[in-house]
């Protein structure tokens, strides 16, 4: 029990993934600044932002709408992200082997933050938040099926093992899955899914700050907004880590392997940042057809290729 | 108080309220975020919602119609909030000070923490004003 609590709260759960995620968020902002020939924020900027929101700012409850649901939604988001972080990082860091079928549990836990944002935005009673919430809902409906197809492709490549630990072990024993045609296609599709899950620029129509002024988060201030920031930091770490486990051979945590593990995560975040900095925001209609038609087609192609062993 | 006010000073998020402005101040404010001046070095970001803001930038002459909006925006902001009046119109009224519809400079309507005069102020002047505001002994004593 104590061990499980330690896993959940300190390592590799809340504290560890939040700190690493905050540093990755600084990396993302710094790269963005360098792409635009600016200097960018200092290293500890995400921590300043988080503690300012948590400790200094006042929390305002919306007059119309439901305050209880409004306040509980960010808490659910943090819980979902942290539980997913524990289930992903325990097999990945080789601490415990997880259980049969934990891929399915991780898939559902990773959707909880997005659903919490939708619930929180609809509970705030703000019309712009309602627009943002409905967009987020459409986005979830479009990218989740694609993400499920990616996971299905990985399961077929791993000769139908359903747990993260066996997938990593199979890659260690032979080759990483990305060294094949279907692996490369699955990686491309997964990168776009992660982009949409994180709400980064081509798919940020739910929070669109110039258009509907932060949409889903418009009414959040103070500590609840700090929890939303915390969820975003954790997601920015665990989604690349999940992709590393699925396609990029996982981590080998000894000697030079630690450096490789860090480089894999940084490389994926760099890719996400560059996509975010070189693309304009799509309309929700375009995003839905992008995922439901093109990305699904690519993923199905990859599954067929994987089935025939390419 | 030390740690809290340190974090607050290190991460000021700015919400921009333009009154009946001639747009010169708006352009100079946007200039501060461009590569040449880059206010994100100090952790300053432009946010879209007043609920996330720590600093309320007000520019332009405030007329009768803007007055109620400005008070409403100020009341909607989570405290502590700093108010900065930018440009001659925001600070004193400028050439509109005796106009028919003029509702008074910003500090007659809501409490103001810093004034940055100029028509329009240069980006350097805006940065200097913000740095002075950040370094002033206790930027949110008014709310205590």
Strands (E), B66-105: 82-86
Interchain pair B52, A220: CB under 8 A: yes
Of A36, A45, A57, the CB nearest to B43: A45
Q: Using the beta-carbon criterion (under 8 Å), do B47 and A39 form an inter-chain contact?
A: no
pLDDT at B101: 84
Q: Look at chain A and report how many structural domains it folds into.
A: 1
Closest residue in A to B35 (Cα–Cα): A38
Model pLDDT for residues A221-280, shown as the tens digit of each residue: 888 999 999 999 999 999 999 998 888 887 777 778 788 888 889 999 999 999 988 988
Region A115-133 average pLDDT: 88
Report how far residue A25's alpha carbon sits from residue A8's, in angstroms, rounded to the nearest whole number: 21
Q: For B11-128, where are the E strands, in sequence order?
A: 13-18, 45-46, 55-59, 82-86, 114-116
CB pairs A-B closer than 8 Å = 85
Give the single-character DSSP code of A207. T
Tell me the average pLDDT across A170-187.
84
Helix (H, G, I), strand (E, B) or coil at B18: strand
Mean confidence (pLDDT) of chain A: 87
Could you read off the pLDDT tens digit of each residue along chain B, which spans 144 residues? 577 888 888 888 888 888 888 888 888 888 888 888 888 888 888 888 888 888 888 888 888 888 888 898 998 888 888 888 888 888 888 888 888 888 878 888 888 888 888 888 888 888 888 888 877 756 555 544
Looking at residue B1, what is its pLDDT?
58
Domain coverage including residue A62: 2-307
Assess A36–B contact: CB distance below 8 Å, yes or no: yes
Q: In what order do the strands lie in the sheet with B82-86?
A: B45-46, B13-18, B55-59, B82-86, B114-116
Of A208, A171, A194, A224, which is closest to residue A57 (Cα–Cα)? Answer: A224
Query: In chain B, positions 79-108, which contact chain A (CB-CB < 8 Å)?
Result: 79-80
Q: Which of A42, A32, A59, A30 is nearest to A227 (CA)?
A: A59
Using the 8-state DSSP alphabet, how is residue A292 labeled? I
Which pLDDT score is estimated for B108?
A: 84
* pLDDT for residue A153 is more than 80: yes
Is B8's CB within 8 Å of A217's CB? Answer: no
pLDDT at B142: 54
Q: How far is A129 from chain B (nearest CA, A)?
A: 11
Q: What is the ipTM of this complex?
A: 0.85
Burial B59-76 (b: 16+ CB within 10 A, else e): bbbbbeebbeebeebbeb
Q: How confident is the model at residue A201 (pLDDT cuts 50, 70, 90)?
A: confident
Which residues from B are below 8 Å from A33, CB to CB?
38, 40
Residue A163 forms contact with B (CB below 8 Å):
no
Which chain B residue lies closest to A212 (C-alpha atoms)? B48
B9-135 is a CATH 3.40.50.12280 domain: yes
In this complex, is the C-beta atom of A66 within 8 Å of any C-beta atom belonging to chain B? no
**A102-123 vs A127-157: helix axis angle to the nearest 10?**
170
Cα-based distances in Å from B8 to A52, A224, B1, B81, B82:
5, 17, 10, 10, 11
Could you tell me which chain B residue has the CA closest to the CA of A229?
B52
pLDDT tens digits for A23-53?
999 999 999 999 988 888 889 889 988 988 8
C-alpha to C-alpha distance for B137 and A279, rounded to whole angstroms = 43
How many residues are listed for chain B in this entry?
A: 144
Chain B hits for A221, CB-CB cut-off 8 Å, are 51-52, 78
Q: What are the chain B neighbours of A38 within 8 Å (beta carbons)? A: 35, 38, 40-41
Substitution target in B14, B51, B55, B134 with the highest count of A β-carbons within 10 Å is B51
Gap between the Cα atoms of A201 and A11, Å rounded: 31
pLDDT attached to residue B144:
41
pLDDT at B137: 58
Would you list the domain boundaries of chain B?
9-135
Q: Shortest Cα distance from A39 to chain B (angstroms)? A: 6
């Amino acid at each position: 029990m104590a061990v499980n609590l330690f896993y959940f709260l300190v390592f590799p759960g809340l504290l560890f993934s939040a700190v690493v995620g905050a540093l990755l968020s600084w990396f993302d902002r710094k790269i963005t600044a360098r792409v635009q020939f600016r200097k960018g924020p200092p290293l500890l900027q995400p921590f300043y932002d988080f503690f300012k929101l948590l400790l200094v700012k006042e929390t305002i409850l919306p007059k119309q709408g439901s305050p209880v649901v409004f306040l509980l939604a960010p808490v659910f988001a943090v819980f979902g992200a942290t539980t997913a972080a524990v289930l992903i990082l325990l097999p990945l860091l080789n601490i415990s082997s997880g259980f049969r079928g934990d891929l399915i549990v991780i898939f559902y836990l990773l959707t909880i933050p997005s659903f919490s944002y939708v619930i929180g935005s609809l509970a705030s009673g703000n019309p712009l938040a309602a627009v943002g919430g409905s967009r987020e809902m459409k986005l979830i409906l479009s990218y989740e099926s694609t993400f499920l197809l990616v996971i299905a492709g990985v399961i077929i490549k791993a000769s139908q093992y359903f747990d993260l630990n066996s997938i990593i072990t199979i890659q260690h024993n032979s080759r990483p899955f990305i060294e094949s045609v279907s692996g490369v296609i699955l990686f491309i599709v997964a990168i776009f899914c992660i982009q949409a899950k994180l709400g980064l620029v081509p798919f940020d129509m739910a929070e669109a700050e110039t258009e509907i002024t932060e949409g889903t988060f418009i009414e959040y201030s103070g500590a609840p907004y700090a929890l939303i920031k915390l969820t975003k930091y954790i997601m920015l770490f665990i989604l690349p880590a999940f992709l590393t486990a699925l396609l990029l051979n996982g981590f080998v945590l000894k000697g030079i392997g630690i450096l490789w593990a860090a480089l894999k995560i940084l490389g994926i975040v760099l890719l996400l940042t560059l996509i975010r900095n070189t693309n304009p925001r799509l309309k929700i209609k375009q995003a839905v057809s992008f995922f439901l038609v093109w990305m699904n087609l690519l993923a199905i192609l990859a599954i067929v290729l994987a089935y025939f062993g390419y | 108080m030390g740690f809290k006010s340190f974090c607050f000073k290190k991460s000021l998020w700015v919400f921009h309220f333009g009154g009946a402005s001639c747009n010169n101040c708006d352009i100079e404010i946007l200039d501060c975020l461009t590569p040449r001046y880059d206010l994100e070095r100090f952790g300053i970001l432009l946010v879209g919602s007043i609920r996330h803001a720590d600093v309320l930038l007000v520019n332009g002459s405030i007329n009768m119609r803007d007055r109620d909006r400005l008070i409403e925006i100020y009341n909607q902001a989570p405290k502590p909030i700093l108010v900065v009046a930018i440009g001659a119109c925001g600070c004193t009224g400028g050439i509109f000070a005796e106009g028919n519809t003029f509702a008074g400079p910003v500090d007659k309507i809501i409490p103001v923490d810093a004034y940055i005069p100029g028509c329009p102020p240069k980006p350097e002047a805006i940065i200097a004003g913000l740095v002075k505001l950040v370094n002033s002994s206790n930027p949110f004593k008014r709310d205590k």
